A and B are shown apart, each in its own frame.
Chain A
Amino acid sequence: MNTHGAISNRNVKTASSMVEVCSVRLGKALFGVPITHILEIVGKGRPQLVPLAPSFVGGVVHYRGDVLTTVSLRYLLHLPPKDGTQDILVLESSHGCFGLLVDSVGEVLTVAEADHEPNPSTLEEPLRKLFAGAYKLKGSLLVMLDPERLDPIRLESTLATEVHAV
């Protein structure tokens, strides 16, 4: 279940000028995940909490015979935890699979490569490490999430350095 290496919008960019992005909702905000990195969407999951795990870990879920570690997007974006079930995006990165907990999964949007812009330099430091730029939609921005950067192993080191910086 390993990947095709580092993800990128760049690869997609060369392939065609249009990109398919799965939209996910978190509170009121809309985010996008490149569909090429989504293995499966598991609706209404209730992850089992893991005491003493790093705080970004939203628990573990049972996924096709494996125990999948999930990442809480709410925690990463400093949103309060949500009660009840959340949707789980099963993503693959170069380190393996993991789950991303989001409030709900929306439709697949087709966006034009030309509308992509990198992260603005004013973006806060930790978020800059999580986001992969944004697509300019009509009247709103679709902030892209980079599965590679959301991988628990990467997050552990990213967020650890962040703590040191603070």
Chain B
Amino acid sequence: MDELTREFLIESQEGLDRMERCLTELEERPEDAGLIGDIFRSVHTIKGTTGFLGFKRLEKLAHAGENLLGMLREGKLTADEPITTGLLALMDGLRSILKSIETEGTEGDAQDAALIARLEELQAPAQMQVLPAQGRADIHRAASVAEELPQGGLAPFVRDGDRTAEPGRPDPSPSTEARAVDVARANPAQASKPTQAEPDADAAKLRAPGSTSASESTLRVDVTLLNRMMNLVGELVLTRNQVLQATAADPNLTMLSRRLDMVTADLRESVMKARMQPVSNIFSKMPRIVRDLSQTLGRRARLHMEGQETELDKSLLEAIKDPLTHAVRNSLDHGIEPPEVRQAAGKDPEGTLRLRAVQEGSHVVIEVDDDGAGIAVEKVRQKAVDRGLMSAERAAQLGERETLQLVFLPGFSMAAAVTNVSGRGVGMDVVRTNVEKIGGKVEIESRSGKGTTLRMRIPLTLAIIPALIVRSLEQSFALPQAALSELVHVPPEQASALIEWMEGSPLYRLRGKLLPLVFLDRLLTPHSQPQARGEKDNFIAVLNADGRQFGLVVDGLADPEEIVVKPLSAVLKSIGLYSGATVLGNADLALILDPGAIAFKAGVTMSNDEQSRRGVEGESQTESVKSPEYLLVEVADRQAAIPLADVLRIEQMPVSRIEYIGYRPVLNFEGQLLPVEDSGGVLAAVAANPAAQIVVVVCSEGSRQVGIAVSHVLDVAAGGEFFEAGTHARAAGVTLLKSRVTGVVNLGGVPPLPDNQAEAGEWNQCSASMAEVAQ
């Protein structure tokens, strides 16, 4: 395919994307001349270009559409329902021809006569006399433009007289097929604006001055080039890490390497940003889907979209397109009730479907929220039993929240009958699988009779992920943090007692529940003699993958690292256990383990037994969402609870590390001065023996960090709330942990250190966070 045709395809597909957005808006505001103008220009541009590229079929169809649009534009017709439907059909027709050009290089030989006739029919009242002539003029003009093309690419189209008001490239949404991405970094606000519903006059004002600058300040970049750049930046990051290590001792080089450090961090951020695209790129497909589906299903639904400017890595955006479509379908099919049912329930007959995207730290949360019937928990239980997914007794034991999670099981469907929209029992399963594949998480929340919310948490980027480096077989492996829920250390002398065997399957009791274990070394060397594990340390990494939970046993843990994911060759990918490789800070290569694949390979499945076990496990997780989790600690002889959300680290150390400023115990923690709270008298109890070990729980309290001296860390548990008898007042400072009333450590009550030191602490904190950014 030649360059000109390719550019034409990209341009046309963008035009059609814009047209799609405008059409769904047009349904709401049929009189909006601006929208009609936009649609007209999209079709007109396609028609004009096809003239000299020689795509006759495309030209004929576009021409028919343009005639209809021309009449709309002149106000001879109003965009009523049949016309909008006709225009959508026109768009689909144009798309399919473009697709055929792209894949086969020809327009295909399907006939558009019926569609053209329909478009002509829609113009019924008045007939065309002027328009054909105008069409010819356009072709002529386009031909003259073609002569300029070699130097200017497609830019001349924008220069063309009557189209100066065209919003150049208002939306950085390339077609995926085109494998190109618009870098509209310069003015992202403006770029996302036209996609949102705006009062027309304002929109026109905003677009006109912005249009030229948008087309001048953006350019198309091939995705493969961006990937390559990302790769090279990753390389630079690694080299920088090594340079930093090597030059740490040399004061002359420190300044230089620090500068290298900063530039690298900036560069990395810029390249990552270049790969980001607003979620409006996929949100914009939804109005059409909602429209078509509501018609098919006889629902009435209003679509609200928020946070369209939220940005996400392009490849991730691609990956969540399907799950999002599934979720929207589900909401319409199972969520929002038919209008008469809604009316009977005293609701607005028109349902509301809300799509919301918001960035939360290093994740983007995408919510699909409807105000429909919600999920009937009882029905879910019944379905699960009917489908043989679990026994009736087990189902009855499940709480509301974990019952809801059942909808993510493969083969689960709530639809009474299989329709062509949903009911085949693959929807939610696909949603979860796809989202987990990219390191995200899905959760569902439902309020019976009020609606359902599906929440997807997507990492910002895939190219660089946080991972824990583990050791096994005397080499390093990277374990993605996203799947990791906790780590358990089993010292050699306790290994035989703590790791139990059931007919050859190793198990570990994690807070009373059996956790299947997978020994990484045995998994990776199936033919070698199993080593006695008595002599070495065992670390159990508790992993959640594809809804299964298991413990991966490794020989050692190294530091967590931000790793740059590099693809493996096909031969190694086909092993199925590794999702890539990475270069560590010490220049060693490490293979990245794929938790889902390990679970599969090791045969960790969701058996009935396990599901119920997970159900119970899920229960504590459930509560954790509503009620906070606490770290249960022993202080001297009493038990106390520390809110888990505030716990940063748990450090074991000899008591001699604790120093004193006056009478206040403090800890030099990674270069920061940490006030240590010792209201339980732990320090005093062991003060006589400087070698005694104590545990300091490092917590964040507001913007500062404090340490709590404790004797032991016992467990993590969800706390229950207390209500004072006879009132609804929540009791403060206590919580119900494992059916025991436990006092909560008041972190805010830890007095700050004297002023100057507090400042020093803050300064350190600030530099630490800067270092984090530089990472």
A114 interface hit (Cβ, 8 Å): no
Contact with A along B497-524 (1 / 0, CB 8 A): 0000000000000000000000000001
Q: Say yes or no for B225: interface residue by CB 8 A criterion.
A: no
Bits for B79-118, please: 1 = Cβ < 8 Å to A, else 0: 0000000000000000000000000000000000000000
A45 to B570, CA, bound (A): 22
Residues of chain B within 8 A (CB-CB) of A69 are 568-569, 571-572
**Contact of B589 with A57 in the complex, beta carbons under 8 Å:** no
CB distance B571 to A62 under 8 Å? no
**B133: CB under 8 A from chain A?**
no
Q: Does A66 contact B (CB under 8 A)?
A: yes
Contact B575 A50 (CB under 8 A): yes
CB distance from A149 to the nearest CB of B (A): 15
In the complex, A34 has a CB within 8 A of chain B: no
Among residues 353 to 368 in chain B, which have CB atoms less than 8 Å away from a CB atom of chain A?
none
Closest to B575 in A: A52
B325 to chain A, nearest CB (A): 34
CB-CB nearest in chain B for A71: B571
Is A5 at the interface (CB under 8 A from chain B)?
no
Determine whether A20 belongs to the interface, using a CB cutoff of 8 Å to chain B.
no
Do the beta carbons of B525 and A51 come within 8 Å of each other? yes
Contact code string A40-55 (vs B, CB < 8 Å = 1, else 0): 0000000011111110
Most-contacted residue by chain B among A60, A66, A67 (CB, 10 A): A67
Residues of B within 8 A of A65 (CB): 231-232, 234-235, 566
On chain B, the residues within 8 Å of A66 by CB distance are: 231, 566
CB distance from B742 to the nearest CB of A (A): 45
Q: A60 touching B572 by the CB < 8 A rule?
A: yes
What distance in Å separates the Cβ of B584 from its nearest Cβ neighbour in chain A? 10
Which of B473, B571, B577, B583 gathers the greatest number of chain A CB atoms within 10 Å?
Answer: B571
Q: For the complex, is B581 an interface residue (Cβ under 8 Å from A)?
A: yes
B589 and A153 contact, CB distance less than 8 A: no
- Interface membership of B3, Cβ < 8 A: no
Chain A neighbourhood of B577, CB < 8 A:
52
Q: Which residues of B contact A98 (CB under 8 A)?
A: 569
Could you tell me if B571 and A60 are in contact, using CB atoms closer than 8 angstroms? no
Which of B524, B525, B581 contacts A60 (CB under 8 A)?
B581
The verdict on A156 contacting B587 (CB below 8 Å), with A48-B475, A51-B525, A65-B231 known, is: no
B524 touches A52 (CB 8 A): yes
Q: Flag whether B162 is at the interface (Cβ < 8 A).
A: no
Residues of B within 8 A of A48 (CB): 475, 581, 588-591
Name the residue on A nearest B578 (C-beta): A50
B540-578: CB near A (< 8 Å → 1, else 0) gives 000000000000000000000000001111111001011
Cross-chain contact B571 with A57 (CB below 8 angstroms): yes
Verify B570–A153 contact, CB threshold 8 A. Answer: yes
Distance between A99 CB and nearest chain B CB, rounded to angstroms: 10
Given A57-B571, A60-B572, CB of A51 within 8 Å of CB of B473 = yes
Cα–Cα, bound, A69→B591 (Å): 12
**A96–B569 CB distance below 8 A:** yes
Tell me whether B588 and A53 are in contact (CB under 8 A): no
- The proximity string for A residues 151-166 relative to B, scoring 1 for CB distances below 8 Å and 0 otherwise, is 0110010000000000
Q: In the assembled complex, which residues on chain A have CB atoms less than 8 Å from the CB atom of B581? A: 48, 60, 67
The answer on a CB contact under 8 Å between B235 and A152 is no
Interface size class of B (residues with CB under 8 A): 20 to 34
Known A-B contacts A49-B475, A51-B473, A98-B569; the reply to A67 vs B575 at CB < 8 A is no
A152 touches B589 (CB 8 A): no
B473→A62 contact, CB < 8 A:
no
Q: Which residue of the partner chain, among B526, B571, B575, contacts A153 with CB atoms under 8 Å?
A: B571
Give chain B residues whose Cβ lies under 8 Å from the Cβ of A60: 568, 572, 581, 589, 591
Bound form: Cα–Cα A152–B591 in Å: 18
* Contact flags A88-103 to B (C-beta < 8 A → 1, else 0): 0000000110100000
User: Are the C-beta atoms of B567 and A67 separated by less than 8 Å?
Assistant: yes
A62-79 vs B, CB cutoff 8 Å, 1 = contact: the mask equals 101111110000000000
Give Cα distance in the complex from A66 to B235, angstroms: 9
Tell me, in angstroms, the Cα distance from A153 to B571 when the chains sit together: 6
Flag if A51 contacts B524 (CB, 8 Å).
yes
Measured between beta carbons, the chain B residues less than 8 angstroms from A57 are 571-572
CB distance from A117 to the nearest CB of B (A): 32
How many residues on A have C-beta within 8 angstroms of the other chain's C-beta atoms?
A: 23
- Residue ID in chain A nearest B476 by CB atoms: A48
Contacts of B526 in A (CB 8 A): 52
List, in ascending order, chain A residues with CB within 8 A of B589's CB.
48, 60-62, 67
CB neighbours (8 Å) of B590 from chain A are 48
- With A51-B525, A52-B577, A66-B231 as known contacts, state yes or no: A156 contacts B568, CB within 8 Å: no
Residue of B nearest to A52 (CB): B575
Chain A positions within 8 Å of B568 at CB level = 60, 67, 69
Tell me, in angstroms, the Cα distance from A66 to B524 when the chains sit together. Answer: 24
Q: Across the interface, which residues of A come within 8 angstroms of B232, CB to CB?
A: 65
Q: Write out, one digit per residue, whether chain A residues 132-166 have a CB within 8 A of any chain B CB (1) or not (0).
A: 00000000000000000000110010000000000
Q: Roughly how many angstroms separate A23 CA and B281 CA in the complex, as a whole number?
A: 55
In the assembled complex, the Cα of A73 lies from the Cα of B571 at a distance in Å of 17
Q: How far is the CA of A67 from the CA of B581 in the complex (A)?
A: 7
Q: C-beta contact mask, B702-715 vs A, less than 8 Å → 1, else 0?
A: 00000000000000
Contacts of B583 in A (CB 8 A): 62
B134 to chain A, nearest CB (A): 48
Cβ-closest chain B residue relative to A96 = B569
User: Do A156 and B571 touch (CB < 8 A)?
Assistant: yes
Partner of A50, one of B231, B234, B570, B572: B572
Q: How far is the CB of A68 from chain B (nearest CB, A)?
A: 8
Tell me the complex Cα distance, A126–B154, Å: 55
CB-nearest residue of chain A relative to B228? A65
Q: Quick one: closest A residue to B569, CB to CB? A: A69
Residues on the B chain within 8 Å of A51, using CB: 473, 524-525
- Asked if B578 and A152 make an inter-chain contact with CB atoms under 8 angstroms apart, the answer reads no
Q: Using Cβ atoms and an 8 Å threshold, which residues of chain A touch B578?
A: 50
- A68 to B571: give the CA distance in the assembly, Å: 11
A64 to B588, CA, bound (A): 14
How many Å from the CB of A112 to the closest CB on chain B?
36
Q: Determine the distance from Cα of A109 to Cα of B324 in the docked complex, in whole angstroms.
A: 61
| Bound Cα distance from A57 to B575, whole angstroms | 12
Contact A152 B525 (CB under 8 A): no
A:14-54 near B, CB below 8 Å: 48-54
A67, B570: Cα distance in complex, Å? 12
Residue of B nearest to A98 (CB): B569
CB-CB under 8 A from B580, the residues of chain A are: 67
**CA A156 to CA B569, docked complex, whole Å:** 12
Nearest-neighbour CB distance to chain A for B50, whole angstroms, equals 34
Q: How far is the CA of A52 from the CA of B601 in the complex (A)?
A: 12
A148 to B679, CA, bound (A): 72
Contact of A152 among B473, B524, B571 (CB under 8 A): B571
Residues of B within 8 A of A96 (CB): 569
Q: In the complex the two chains form, is A54's CB within 8 Å of B571's CB?
A: yes
CA distance A95 to B235 in the complex (A): 23
CA distance A57 to B569 in the complex (A): 11
Docked complex Cα distance between A153 and B568 (Å) = 12
Instruction: State whether B572 touches A53 (Cβ < 8 A).
Output: yes
| Residues of chain A contacted by B473 (CB below 8 angstroms) | 51
Tell me the B230-282 residues at the A interface (CB within 8 Å): 231-232, 234-235
Question: How close is A44's CB to chain B, nearest CB, in angstroms?
Answer: 14
- List A contacts of B475 (CB < 8 A): 48-49
Q: Give 14 A-B contacts (CB < 8 Å), ordered by A residue.
A: A48-B588, A48-B590, A48-B591, A49-B475, A52-B577, A53-B575, A60-B581, A60-B591, A62-B583, A64-B235, A67-B566, A67-B568, A95-B570, A96-B569
Given contacts A51-B525, A69-B572, 14 further A-B contacts (CB under 8 A): A48-B475, A50-B591, A53-B571, A57-B571, A61-B589, A62-B583, A65-B231, A65-B232, A65-B234, A67-B567, A67-B589, A95-B570, A96-B569, A152-B570
Q: Which 9 A-B pairs have the closest CB atoms?
A: A51-B524, A65-B235, A48-B589, A69-B569, A152-B571, A67-B581, A67-B566, A52-B575, A65-B231
Chain A residues near B (Cβ < 8 Å): 48-54, 57, 60-62, 64-69, 95-96, 98, 152-153, 156
